Structure 1
Amino acid sequence: MSLDRSLQLKLLEYMAAKYPYHWDFYNDFPEGSENYEAALRNLYYLMQHELVEKKSLTLSNYNGTGFNLIIHLPTISQKGMDFLADDGGLSAILGVVTIKFEADTLRTILERRINQAEATPEHKQSMIDGIRELPAESIKHLTMKLLDEGLDNLPNAIVLIGTYLGLS
């Protein structure tokens, strides 16, 4: 039996309607008990992805041949609620990664690039001296200008971005 995306969505939506409480699967599942195995498999899959609480499934008593997995207290998790949210929920806000470059780090990067350029040593040194004298806000502004200019002049920028994202 394969996983069923539409069934997974239904299960999550039923649980979301009861959030933060568990959903009464046995009384409120309109697909009926004939689809119990499909629901069990898909709920287990959702649990592995932490979209539902672990208490949603439990092992039954030993029946002589082993334990059975049963639907117990199906409850959507915060990750499940965020998954259903159009905006990604709080996970989208809390999961934001901020990258900060200190002015000194940017200066070092710029100085290294200047030293690699084809120019006279005197010209390189005067540029490095100028970079070292710039205040932090000017370094930030210069870096943004260089980034914009670099992207504008990189003929395959979109292709490169797509490749990095696995979209090409």
Structure 2
Amino acid sequence: MILDRELQLKLLTVLSDMYPFTYDFSKDFQDGSDDCDKAVANLYYLQSHGLITEKSIFVSKSIGGGRGRVQFGLSEITHTGMDFLANDGGLSAILGTVTIKFETEQLKAILATKIMSSDLSPERKTTMIDAIKELPAEGLKHLTTKIVDVGWDNLDSLMALIQGSLSL
């Protein structure tokens, strides 16, 4: 197979060492050789995934179809390529993180609604809702963590609930 993960990593590593500057791979591969064709194909693949810039490789398509010509350009790694090489996912991992925050009162209202819709006795519902209203933020955080833990411990029931909510 012409696509080679090891070669792709090597090419990206060379470019990351040069970042933010360009690198000319034509000096590393003899034009027309199998190694050159393989390197160009792998750079084209990396370019297709946005890991290197478009000026890294030039493709000339044949008018009559069939094989055109692909040649080295001035290769440059993109921020996506740098993040791909980073063990932690780079800034893309940080910027792509979605944080969901509930205000304390919102969370208390959600819990109270769930308690009210349960089949507990009215006295038990009132007692529980009053206790939740009195919980400090840290206690509410601990309770929420416990609720999530119980959900994960009962994964089958949780999945059935999620599927039912999503109408699957």
TM-score bucket of the superposed structures, by smaller chain:
0.7 to 0.9
Deviation at 1:47, TM superposition (A): 1.1
Q: Which deviates more, 130-139 or 96-105?
A: 130-139
Deviation at 1:39, TM superposition (A): 1.9
Instruction: Give the direction of change, closer, same or farther, for the CA distance of 1:99–1:115 in structure 2 (3 Å limit).
Output: same
Instruction: Give the direction of change, closer, same or farther, for the CA distance of 1:43–1:36 in structure 2 (3 Å limit).
Output: same
Q: Which deviates more, 4-13 or 94-103?
A: 94-103
Q: Which blocks of at least 5 consecutive residues in structure 1 are unaligned?
A: 161-168
Instruction: Give the direction of change, closer, same or farther, for the CA distance of 1:80–1:35 in structure 2 (3 Å limit).
Output: same
Instruction: Give the direction of change, closer, same or farther, for the CA distance of 1:3–1:59 in structure 2 (3 Å limit).
Output: closer
Instruction: Give the direction of change, closer, same or farther, for the CA distance of 1:6–1:112 in structure 2 (3 Å limit).
Output: same
The separation in 1 between residues aligned to 2:30 and 2:111, in whole angstroms, is 64
Partner of 1:164: none
Q: What are the equivalent positions in structure 2 for 1:39-78 lying under 5 Å apart?
A: 39-60=39-60, 65=64, 68-78=69-79
Q: Are 1:93 and 2:99 an aligned pair?
A: no
Instruction: Give the direction of change, closer, same or farther, for the CA distance of 1:142–1:63 in structure 2 (3 Å limit).
Output: closer
The separation in 2 between residues aligned to 1:30 and 1:97, in whole angstroms, is 47
Q: Report how many residues are paired.
A: 156
Secondary structure in structure 2 of the residue aligned to 1:40: helix
The separation in 1 between residues aligned to 2:86 and 2:32, in whole angstroms, is 27
| TM-score (structure 2 length as normaliser) | 0.72
The separation in 2 between residues aligned to 1:77 and 1:132, in whole angstroms, is 51
Partner of 1:19: 19
Identical aligned pairs, as a percentage? Answer: 49
Deviation at 1:102, TM superposition (A): 1.8
1:92-148 residue CA offsets vs partner (Å, 9 max, x unmatched): 333333221222332233123312433212221232233234343432232123333
Query: Which amino acid in 1 is paired with 2:54?
Result: K
The separation in 2 between residues aligned to 1:136 and 1:17, in whole angstroms, is 47
Deviation at 1:20, TM superposition (A): 1.7
Query: Which amino acid in 1 is paired with 2:135?
Result: L
The separation in 2 between residues aligned to 1:113 and 1:103, in whole angstroms, is 16
The separation in 2 between residues aligned to 1:88 and 1:71, in whole angstroms, is 28
Q: What are the equivalent positions in structure 2 for 1:1-168 lying under 5 Å apart?
A: 1-29=1-29, 33-60=33-60, 65=64, 68-151=69-152, 153-154=153-154
Query: Which amino acid in 1 is paired with 2:23?
Result: W
Secondary structure in structure 1 of the residue aligned to 2:58: strand
Superposed CA RMSD? 3.1
Deviation at 1:50, TM superposition (A): 1.3
Q: Which blocks of at least 5 consecutive residues in structure 2 are unaligned?
A: 160-168
Deviation at 1:24, TM superposition (A): 1.5
1:43-69 residue CA offsets vs partner (Å, 9 max, x unmatched): 121112211111112244x87547644
Where has structure 1 moved over 4 Å in runs of 4 or more? 62-67
